[in-house]
Amino acid sequence: MKRMFRLRFGKMRNLVKLVSMVILVLCVGTGFVYGKELPPVKIGAAGPFTGDLSKIGLDALNAIQMAVEEANAEGGIKGRKIEVAIGDDMGDPSKGVLAAERFAMDKNVLGVVGPMNSATVSAALPAYDRAGLVIISQSATNPDLSERGYRVMHRICPRDDAQGPAAARFIAEEIKAKNVYIIDDKGTYGQGLADQVAAALNQIRVKVTRGQITLEDRDFSPILTRVKATQPDLIYLGLSNPAQAAGLMKQAIGLGLSARFMGGDCMKEKDQLVAGAGGAAEGMYITAIGRDIAEVPAAREFIRKFEGKYGAMSVFSGQSYEATKILIEALRVAAGDNPAGLTKAKALDAVHSIRDYKGIMGFPIGFDEKGDVLGASIYVYQVENGDFREVKEYPAEV
Amino acid sequence: MEQILAQLPQQVINGLTLGSIYALLALGYSMVYGILRMLNFAHGDVFMVGSLIGWGVLQLFVRGGTALAKSGPVLVSMVFGAVVVTSVLGGTIERFAYRPLQKGSRLTTLISALGASIILQNVAMLLTQGRAKAYQTELVISSDWAISALGATISATRLIIICVSIALMLAMDYAVTHTMLGKAMRATSQDREAAEYMGIRTQRVISAAFIVGSGLAGIAGVMIGLYYTQVDFMIGFSAGMKAFTAAVLGGIGNVRGAMAGGLVLGLAESLGVLFLAPVYKDVIVFSVLIAVLILRPQGILGKPVDEKV
């Protein structure tokens, strides 16, 4: 027994020797050949790529990957290849922090697109700030995020305190609703937006009743029965999951509820909301934080390529593509003539000083001191014949 | 107060609908626990698969916003498709995930069950690309078919769910008390070894329990799809939790208890919402569970178990 063990061990030692020699040769060899090639620049993609919100996450990730492939075809960043590092947070704040810390440990990650959910950004911001790693969120609209003094924070979507009052104005002036019921999902985004709408409606003295559901809910009969008892003429949905809104609207019909519906930017999604509601979404109003890029001439090429590759595009695809392009543009500026000298700090400065970036969103993008987007508008859309039709535009003023 | 009274009839109907679905699911948990003393955590996911299969079958009958066949045949084929797939799935899970581990400790089968649950969820996520699938309930069961009584709207969907569940529960109750398989099941759950000596092929009884329970879960899955109007790969978890709670509430291992537990739970959930905000409905459910476990640890209809020395 003992001898056998020794024998095996002896063989093993030879094997180890052989393998390490091979590795050594390979290392030296490749060192000669590839010694001058710089490591790729990595762009972090943070978002809910699995779990409840994986639909919007994957819409975003596909767009990010497409932007990076295009940039690589144009030579990357001054010759350095770009890679996407994926940080799946499942829409869960605690996982968002882990993703941030993993990005921070990788010295080649120089900027992050995302996270997408306000709650995740909120939780992960301190970690990104400690690492000095710049983030551009494509969809986190909670106002508080850019008020906390973190320099790494940037976003290309207007805040809820622009969207909420615009929605309230539309409710009072155009729909002329007198009695509004607001349902939110307790999330940082959903409840945050609902708070803004409620505050603005209270100011102009429209009667507001509020109720909450949770992100896990699929059965809306209990709350809808409550809603029915207050007989509202408009139901506002502060929800982050369009599929949930679709289910809610269909179940409302089953209960004989006939109020109109309105929702925030997250609702603007054809597959899950309009198709998912099977006609129940018809006539619904939606405030959007960007113009439908189908109407922006500069976006046509993107839409054609994206839909050819991944199928129907959602609002998150366009915003993610734009955020990625801005980040790449900033990295190119930061690299100057010395792509080897790129650092997180340089990337942060370059993103911060982006001005008048003309992409596919239809307005020139820049960031203010807090990292909030400049020059955006809030658009009101209505679902008509299964499509979104623009009915009103308000400047995004806080 | 007036508002509460106005909502009462509707919430009772909501509770009965949901409760009868919980009850059907709880049956599966209870039967398996009764026989094997194990918690089949994959049961909720089998239910989820059933609801997705029902959706798939429905899509075969829907073209461009209209149904190609009458409601009856469509509903029957949805249920049939779901039941066939879930029964086979339940039997397969039992054969490959649990049977090889039966001789091990109870903990190993529990872990294997969790594994099966995770696999089912992730396969479903990949196949559906994480999207919610909308049931075109309105094409099969028109939303005009509804009875209004006392301010409550009882849609045909709810009525069908409640009637079908009650019929199934009565049939199950009859099967367990009066048929040979039912007797064999009860014998196996009382003492597997003794049952084996009496010539009962207990392994078959166990398979049957899984297959029947999973079939019921399949039916429940189609019904939840028609009721919620959309399903996704995550619905198995929370529904499974609730149904498990219902099984414990009624007295786990007891078939009638599972049915009673499901109905009590559904009613508690929707009646509780009359007084508390709807976000707290799960709090209400689990408070009821805790209260019952303190006052009647064996559950509503369970028999107290003598402590074995």
- 3-state SS, one letter per residue, for B154-193: EEHHHHHHHHHHHHHHHHHHHHHHHCHHHHHHHHHHHCHH
Pairing of strands A109-113, A153-155: unpaired
Q: What is the pLDDT of residue A23?
A: 65
Answer yes or no: is B123 within a domain.
Answer: yes
Question: pLDDT by residue for chain B (309 residues), tens digit each?
Answer: 667 777 888 889 889 999 999 999 999 999 888 888 888 999 999 999 999 999 999 999 988 777 788 888 999 999 999 999 999 999 999 999 999 998 888 889 889 999 999 999 999 988 988 788 888 888 888 777 877 777 777 888 889 999 999 999 999 999 999 999 999 999 998 888 899 999 999 999 999 999 999 999 999 999 999 998 889 898 998 889 899 999 998 888 888 899 899 999 999 988 888 888 888 888 888 888 898 888 888 888 877 655 444
Answer yes or no: is B295 within a domain.
Answer: no
- Work out the pLDDT band at A24, boundaries 50, 70, 90: low
Coil, helix or strand for A196? Answer: helix
Whether B134 sits inside 8 A of A54 (CB atoms) is no
Mean pLDDT across chain A? 87
Give the whole-angstrom CA distance, residue B256 versus residue A381: 52
Q: What is the mean pLDDT of residues A253-270?
A: 87
Q: Which residue has the tokens 């018809």?
A: A282
Q: pLDDT, tens digit, for every residue of A306-361?
A: 999 988 787 789 999 999 999 999 999 998 888 888 999 999 999 998 988 988 98
Q: What is the pLDDT of residue B273?
A: 83
**Which chain B residues are Cβ-neighbours of A186 within 8 angstroms?**
279
Report which listed range, A36-40, A132-136, A279-283, is most confident.
A132-136
Mutate to test the interface with B, among A250, A310, A314 (most CBs of B within 10 A): A250
HSE of B223, CA atoms in CB hemisphere, 13 A: 29
Lowest mean pLDDT among A24-38, A137-151, B31-45, B246-260: A24-38
**Which chain B residues are Cβ-neighbours of A386 within 8 angstroms?**
none
Answer yes or no: is B5 within a domain.
Answer: no
Q: What is the pLDDT of residue A289?
A: 81
Give the whole-angstrom CA distance, residue A251 versus residue A160: 27
Q: Which of B14, B134, B158 sits opposite A222 (nearest CB)?
A: B14
Domain A41-158+294-367: which topology? Rossmann fold (3.40.50)
Answer yes or no: is B214 within a domain.
Answer: yes
Whether A213 sits inside 8 A of B279 (CB atoms) is yes
Whether A247 sits inside 8 A of B238 (CB atoms) is no
Tell me the CATH architecture of domain A161-288+379-395.
Answer: 3-Layer(aba) Sandwich (3.40)
Domains of chain A, residue spans: 1-30, 41-158+294-367, 161-288+379-395
- Work out the pLDDT band at A1, boundaries 50, 70, 90: very low
- Work out the pLDDT band at A287, boundaries 50, 70, 90: very high
Whether A213 sits inside 8 A of B18 (CB atoms) is no
**Which chain B residues are Cβ-neighbours of A227 within 8 angstroms?**
none
Strands of chain A (E only): list them. 41-47, 82-88, 109-113, 134-137, 153-155, 179-184, 207-212, 234-238, 260-263, 285-288, 377-384, 387-395
- Work out the pLDDT band at A33, boundaries 50, 70, 90: very low
Q: What is the pLDDT of residue A56?
A: 84
- Work out the pLDDT band at A254, boundaries 50, 70, 90: confident
HSE of B55, CA atoms in CB hemisphere, 13 A: 24
Q: What is the pLDDT of residue A20?
A: 67
Q: Does B271 touch chain A (CB under 8 A)?
A: no
Coil, helix or strand for B147? Answer: strand
Mutate to test the interface with B, among A49, A218, A230, A385 (most CBs of B within 10 A): A218
Nearest to A326 by CA among A47, A108, A75, A114: A114
Handedness of CA A274, A280, A282, A283 (dihedral sign): negative
Q: Which of A58, A219, A253 sits opposite B228 (nearest CB)?
A: A219
Nearest to A115 by CA among B230, A98, A243, B97: A98
Q: What is the mean pLDDT of residues A361-367?
A: 88
Distance to chain A for B206, nearest Cα, Å: 33
Q: Which of A212, A243, A254 sits opposite B277 (nearest CB)?
A: A212
Q: What is the pLDDT of residue A16?
A: 62
Structural domains of chain B, count: 1
Whether B279 sits inside 8 A of A214 (CB atoms) is yes
Q: What is the pLDDT of residue A10?
A: 53
Backbone angles phi, psi at A159, to 5 degrees: -85, 165
Give the whole-angstrom CA distance, residue A108 versus residue A125: 19
Q: What is the pLDDT of residue B197?
A: 93
List the domain range (segments joined by +) for residue B196. 25-233
Whether A213 sits inside 8 A of B278 (CB atoms) is yes
Coil, helix or strand for A29? Answer: helix
Question: Would the pLDDT of A26 be above 90?
Answer: no
Lowest mean pLDDT among A1-15, A274-288, A371-385, B207-221: A1-15
Q: What is the pLDDT of residue A130?
A: 93
**Which chain B residues are Cβ-neighbours of A275 within 8 angstroms?**
134
Q: What is the pLDDT of residue A37?
A: 75
Contacts of A65 (CB under 8 A, 6+ apart): A45, A84
Chain length of chain A: 398
Distance to chain B for A187, nearest Cα, Å: 12
Distance to chain B for A165, nearest Cα, Å: 26
Question: Would the pLDDT of A88 be above 70?
Answer: yes
Give the whole-angstrom CA distance, residue A167 versus residue A171: 6
Answer yes or no: is B19 within a domain.
Answer: no
The most distant pair of C-alpha atoms in chain A lies apart, rounded to whole Å, by 92
Q: Does B77 touch chain A (CB under 8 A)?
A: no
Question: Would the pLDDT of A28 be above 70?
Answer: no
Distance to chain A for B130, nearest Cα, Å: 6
Q: pLDDT, tens digit, for every residue of A163-172?
A: 999 999 999 9
Whether A243 sits inside 8 A of B230 (CB atoms) is yes
Whether A253 sits inside 8 A of B146 (CB atoms) is no
- Interface list for chain A against chain B, based on CB atoms closer than 8 Å: 50-52, 54-55, 57-58, 186, 211-214, 216, 218-219, 221-223, 225-226, 228-230, 243, 246-247, 250-251, 253-256, 271-272, 275-279
Nearest to B136 by CA among B42, B230, B202, B73: B230
Question: Alpha helices, DSSP H only, in B229-280?
Answer: 235-250, 255-275
Q: What is the mean pLDDT of residues A348-375?
A: 89
Q: Which of A57, A223, A276 sits opposite B278 (nearest CB)?
A: A223
Question: Would the pLDDT of A262 be above 50?
Answer: yes
Answer yes or no: is B90 within a domain.
Answer: yes
Backbone angles phi, psi at A306, to 5 degrees: -65, -50
Q: What is the mean pLDDT of residues A223-246?
A: 91
Whether A55 sits inside 8 A of B130 (CB atoms) is yes
Whether A50 sits inside 8 A of B138 (CB atoms) is no
Give the whole-angstrom CA distance, residue B172 versus residue B212: 9
Give the whole-angstrom CA distance, residue A380 versus residue B230: 27
Q: What share of residues in chain B are helix, strand, coil (percent, to 5)?
A: 75, 5, 20
Q: How many helices (H) and strands (E) does chain B have?
A: 12, 6
Q: What is the pLDDT of residue B38?
A: 86
Q: What is the pLDDT of residue A172?
A: 92
Chain length of chain B: 309
Nearest to A162 by CA among A152, A170, A154, A173: A170
Q: What is the mean pLDDT of residues A12-20?
A: 64
Handedness of CA A64, A67, A73, A77 (dihedral sign): negative
| Contact criterion met (CB below 8 Å) for B237 and B41 | no
- Nearest-by-CA chain A residue for B132: A243
Q: Which of B227, B232, B269 sits opposite A243 (nearest CB)?
A: B232
